[in-house]
Amino acid sequence: MLIPLGILAASGAGGPYELISTTVLSSSGSISLTSIPQGYKHLQLRVVARTTASQVPDQLFIRANNDTTADRHGWHYLNGNGSSVTSGNGTTNETGIRMQMITGANATTNSFGAVVVDILDYSSTTKNKTFRSLGGYTSASGSEVGLSSGFYESTNAITQLDVFGLFLAFAAGTRVSLYGIKG
């Protein structure tokens, strides 16, 4: 059953899901999302990323409010690499959250990892902040998929998100989009 498309898109009037910003890197670097508007209930990051690290995988690393205080961030993961399922965490001296696997410079050419991150109640001033993600990559020399949860121990509203490769800078072509979800 074929369904032709192209003219069926709604006009977009109304709806709870709004694009705040999209950044596509034309050269290597990191991405800092500042002055995040506070009028939404939750945020979502949609990321397609590759780094310059000389290895196959790298990891998406996120820091809230430029806060480098040790032990303010924490994370857990559940990952499958095609052979086994593993779990781990970082809860001590963390200065950011590892939010799943992306590709490094030694991954197959033109292959990028993808991660979707939900940040719940980001603007609350009475709650610590919860992150969750689904992400992964495939490459000729390894593949991995995983679910992660993250924690930012602060009742400050999140107004800034810094997005990095854990080991090295993002490569050109990396894209980070931020969406606001109304509540």
Partner 1 sequence: MPTNTYLPLANITLGTAATSVTFSSIGQGFRDLILVANTGVSSSGQAVRLQVNNDTTGTYNDVFMNGNGSSASSSYDTNNTYIFIAPYGFTASTPAANIIAQFMDYSATDKHKPVLFRANDAGLATSAGAARWASNTAISTIKIYVATGNLVAGSTFALYGVSA
Contacts with partner 1 by CB under 8 A lie at 1-6, 8-10, 12-20, 22, 37, 46, 48, 78-85, 108, 110-116, 134-140, 143-147, 173, 175, 177, 179-180
Q: What distance in Å separates the CA atoms of residue 176 and residue 21, rounded to the nearest whole number?
A: 8
For residue 19, the one-letter residue type is L
Closest to partner 1 by CB, 72 vs 103, is 103
Shortest distance in whole angstroms from residue 27 CB to partner 1:
14
Shortest distance in whole angstroms from residue 64 CB to partner 1:
21
Shortest distance in whole angstroms from residue 137 CB to partner 1:
6
Q: What distance in Å separates the CA atoms of residue 32 and residue 140, rounded to the nearest whole number?
A: 31
Dihedral sign from CA coordinates of 130, 29, 48, 12: positive
Closest to partner 1 by CB, 48 vs 168, is 48
Shortest distance in whole angstroms from residue 15 CB to partner 1:
4
Closest to partner 1 by CB, 112 vs 152, is 112
Shortest distance in whole angstroms from residue 164 CB to partner 1:
19
Which residues contact residue 154 at a Cβ distance below 8 angstroms, ignoring those fewer than 6 apart? 64, 65, 67, 72, 128, 129
Closest to partner 1 by CB, 73 vs 174, is 174
Return the residue matching tokens 């050419």.
Answer: 109
Cβ atoms 79, 86 nearer than 8 A: yes
Enter the tokens of residue 108: 């197959």
Closest to partner 1 by CB, 72 vs 145, is 145
Q: What distance in Å separates the CA atoms of residue 73 and residue 47, rounded to the nearest whole number?
A: 20
